[in-house]
Amino acid sequence: MDNLNRYIEHTLLKQDAKKEDLVKLFEEAKNNKFLGVCVNPCYVKLAKEYLKDSDVKVVTVIGFPLGANTTETKIFETINAIKDGADEIDMVINVTKVKDLETDFLIDEITQIKKACQGHILKVIIETDLLSYEEIKYACECAVKGGADFVKTSTGFVKGGVGAKVEDVELMYNTVKDFGLKVKASGGIRDKETAINMIKAGATRLGTSSGLKIMA
């Protein structure tokens, strides 16, 4: 596959990342013409400054990594991130609310955050490692009803978690494809073969910290 770089959101969300690590990420993204970078909210301004002369998108995470912030907090984070220059928002769904089937809460939260995105793309991280087949489908259906643009597999922060799995990506794709939503596979994508398998399963975005290895 010749254009793998255009699927990749080059990602650095580690708690102990230094500024020099982030700058290196930005340079790698520019040099490889990756679709985007994904960084924590406090580094959105930094990313925007370093990437201002490129077409690399700045993606950030909201309610990360647990998704258990109040809706009001997530909305504030989103508005602030857009103000700082974020091009896209990846929000973590409230997994407890998914398991308790609190449909109205989930749809309302996603709807409000999508509004706060002010026209920018919203991806909903559903954390597949913690969900059953039916719960994955249900979370995707809530994302559809809430007006999201993407569903995303994972934060990559679940202890012992696998991250993106081909069968989960296929399920997510088949659940949302008829409603215009897309799928971002994230977590555990560390080589070219895995990346290509995720794309074949329906993913149009890959969140990975192994972009250089995938492109090698």
Task: Give me the active site residues, please.
Answer: 90, 152, 184
CB 172 within 8 Å of CB 140: yes
State the CB neighbour count (10 A cutoff) for residue 17: 15
Structural domain containing residue 88 = 4-215
Residue 175: which CATH number?
A: 3.20.20.70
CB 176 within 8 Å of CB 202: no
End-to-end alpha carbon distance in the chain: 12
The 3-class SS string of 142-163 reads HHHHHCCCEEECCCCCCCCCCC
d(CA 24, CA 12): 10
Total of domains in the chain: 1
What would the pLDDT profile of 151-202 be if each residue is shown by its tens digit? Answer: 999 999 999 999 999 999 999 999 999 999 999 999 999 999 999 999 999 9
Per the document, the length of the chain is: 216
What would the pLDDT profile of 134-164 be if each residue is shown by its tens digit? Answer: 999 999 999 999 999 999 999 999 999 999 9
- Sign of the CA dihedral running 71, 118, 204, 14: negative
